[in-house]
Amino acid sequence: MNRKVFLVLLLLVLIGGGWWFYRSRSAKKDTVSGGQVFAKVREGSLVINLTEAGSIKPAEQINIKSNVEGRNSIIYLVPEGQRVQKGDLLVELDSSTHKDNLVNQEITVQNAQASHVQAQENLEVVRNQAKADVDKAELTLRFAKEDLVKYKEGEYPKNLNELESNVTLATEELQRAKDKLVWSKKLFDQKYLSETEYRSDALSERRCELSLATARGNLALLKNYTYKRQVAQLESDVSQAEMALERTRRSARANVVQAEATLRARELELNRQNSKLAKIKDQIEKATITAPADGLVIYATSNRGPFRGNTEPLQEGQEVYERQDLIALPTADTFIAEIKVHETNLKKIYIGLPVRIRVDALPGQIFTGKIQKIAPLPDAQSTFMNPDLKLYNTVVSVEGGAGVLKSGMTCEAEIIVEQYEKAMYVPVQCVVQVSGQPVAYVRTANGVERREVEIGLDNNRRVRIISGLKVGEEVLITPPLDTSVSVRANEKMIDVKIPTRSQSEAAENAKQDEARRRGNNNAQEGAQGEEQQRQRPQMDPERMKQFQERLEKMSPEEREAFMKRMQERRQRRNQNGEGGQRRNQNGEGGQREGGQRRNQNGEGGQRPQRPQE
């Protein structure tokens, strides 16, 4: 039974295939002659179009994001596809951590407020104390200046007058005592006065002399010592009071500035803590996400297209991060189609071109629209998946579709670039470029003739013929692919010499030798003989490795010649005792131990460089 069914099905397939082949051949009416396939130039309706796959998306939608910092779990999620009103709860995130932080932050704010009030009161106290200290220092300075003036203009003249009066009185008393003593002497000599009275007058005269000397000494002491010392002391008191006032003022200003800075710091700290408190409250509020407008709930994970990666569907209990898209909320029953256009087709399309849209879920229905936007840069996601693929996101506005189209539906967008009711066309493979000019190979009575044609756009199947061919003519489908048929056949040879690989390597080695030679020419002459050879540093491991690799790349003959040259150079250096750089008659240079020398073929070895003395 199964075998009979299989044979019947096979027979039906063969009949269907033969019928399709007959219809296709009869429709194309292509001819084959001498192994060459020709197609006729036809005239009829022609549509130049591009067909790209895409998806249906809402034209107007609000993207709901998570604005809560960090990662938070979803504890409530509105079902997808449900219509919501403005203000309805959409998503509620776990905010228990933020609520705990809110209590701690309120305590911190209270402490910051107390510190701020304390800083304000302390500033007033410091200002008051500063004013009192300055006033006291100013009063001390004023008293010191008054004491100086009082002494110079009051006490000193008074004391001076008193002492000068004492000197004058003492002088008068001394003169009177002397006069009395003279008369007493006369009376004593004449026996009119007793000896006791005479001695009493003499004692009075001596007492007056001593009083006069004392008065004069006091006056001199006042002028020469007491006055100077007292003035210096009072002037010093004035100077000390002035400096004390300056110190007090500066200290007062410093204390006030310090108190003001402390107040500003406390104020900034209070503002910072208040900001953190407001932020925590804002985060708690943002954990509850409500609908900003009426619309249909669509999860963002369901609206990301085919390149979703490992993103899990949005669900309760899932952790979301800050700025993550959660819900797309369409706000109108208008739709767009998002397609990706290859970079080779950008020259054909532009904004405003009509588009026919076919939706896979709605067979038989065709929607119309227009190109609304073409991205200026290629899609980064497509470029990441394939760096050689450049696709440009294109937005097509869809007319109608309300109540029929759904977000996320797969569609096929046919961009109508050009359309003609009557146009001449041939298969696109019939036209090739020869020296930058499109040509077609037409069958004539004398054979195949190459003819230049003027073409329009193509739809990857047919190309429009503007001029150069006639309806009914037969053109070759497989043009000859010789050197004359090339887009770049008109390029000419450029006047430049292309070096071989060995020549390029030799030139690069010569540049390196010249650079090392210029660097070694700046080195000083070394010591001579074997002592210099012993003092030279040994080759470092990196250069030794390079030297060994270079030796390994040499052929046996080149290696033998190189070692021979090294021995000869070492013998000449030992004989002449030269440690510097020598050159022979042929212009070949030998560098000191530390340089590099190459032969005429660019071969050479490296030696460790000699340190400068």
- Which strands form 71-77's sheet, in the order they lie side by side? 288-290, 89-93, 71-77, 319-321
d(C-alpha 166, C-alpha 106), whole Å: 86
pLDDT at 535 over 60: no
Mean pLDDT of the chain: 78
Provide the 8-state DSSP code for 611. P
Residues 469, 477 contacting (CB under 8 angstroms): no
d(C-alpha 80, C-alpha 302), whole Å: 9
**pLDDT (tens digit, 9 = 90+) per residue, 66-120?**
999 889 999 999 998 888 889 999 999 998 998 999 999 999 999 999 999 999 9
Range scoring the smallest mean pLDDT among 12-26, 36-50, 263-277, 536-550: 12-26
Q: Which residue has the tokens 């107040």?
A: 263
pLDDT score for 564: 76
Reported as type and span, the H/E element at residue 256 is helix 227-286
**381's tokens:** 């996601």
pLDDT score for 26: 42
Maximum mean pLDDT: which of 20-29, 108-117, 151-160, 528-537: 108-117
Residues 126, 253 contacting (CB under 8 angstroms): no
Distance of CA 310 to the CA centre of its chain: 31
d(C-alpha 360, C-alpha 53), whole Å: 10
Reported as type and span, the H/E element at residue 560 is helix 556-576
At a CB cut-off of 8 Å and minimum separation 6, what does 278 contact?
none
**497's tokens:** 């010499």
Helical ranges in 397-488 per DSSP H: none
Q: Which residue has the tokens 């099905």?
A: 9
**114's tokens:** 């107390």
pLDDT at 499 over 70: no
pLDDT greater at residue 585 or residue 225: 225
Distance of CA 9 to the CA centre of its chain: 69
Q: List Cα–Cα distances, 572 to 529, 569, 575, in angstroms.
A: 11, 5, 5
Q: Coil, strand, or helix at residue 526? A: coil
**155's tokens:** 């006490």
pLDDT score for 93: 92
Residues 152, 231 contacting (CB under 8 angstroms): yes
Q: Which of 282, 255, 285, 31 shows the shortest CA–CA distance to 123?
A: 255
CA neighbours closer than 13 Å in the CB half-sphere of residue 574:
8
d(C-alpha 409, C-alpha 336), whole Å: 11
pLDDT score for 609: 41
At a CB cut-off of 8 Å and minimum separation 6, what does 558 contact?
601, 603
Q: Which of 244, 265, 243, 247 shows the shortest CA–CA distance to 255?
A: 247
pLDDT score for 395: 94
Residue 434 confidence class, pLDDT cut points 50, 70, 90: confident
Enumerate domains of the chain plus CATH numbers.
Answer: 38-60+332-491 (2.40.30.170), 68-89+289-303+315-330 (no CATH), 98-286 (1.10.287), 539-579+590-613 (no CATH)
pLDDT score for 207: 82
Q: Mean of the pLDDT values across residues 342-352?
A: 89
Residue 552 confidence class, pLDDT cut points 50, 70, 90: low
Residues 343, 305 contacting (CB under 8 angstroms): no
d(C-alpha 168, C-alpha 152), whole Å: 23
Residues 95, 287 contacting (CB under 8 angstroms): yes
pLDDT greater at residue 357 or residue 532: 357
Provide the 8-state DSSP code for 538. P
Q: Which of 76, 83, 272, 242 shows the shortest CA–CA distance to 148?
A: 242
What is the 3-state composition of the chain as percent helix, strand, coil, each rounded to the nearest 5? 45, 25, 30
**pLDDT (tens digit, 9 = 90+) per residue, 361-372?**
888 889 999 999
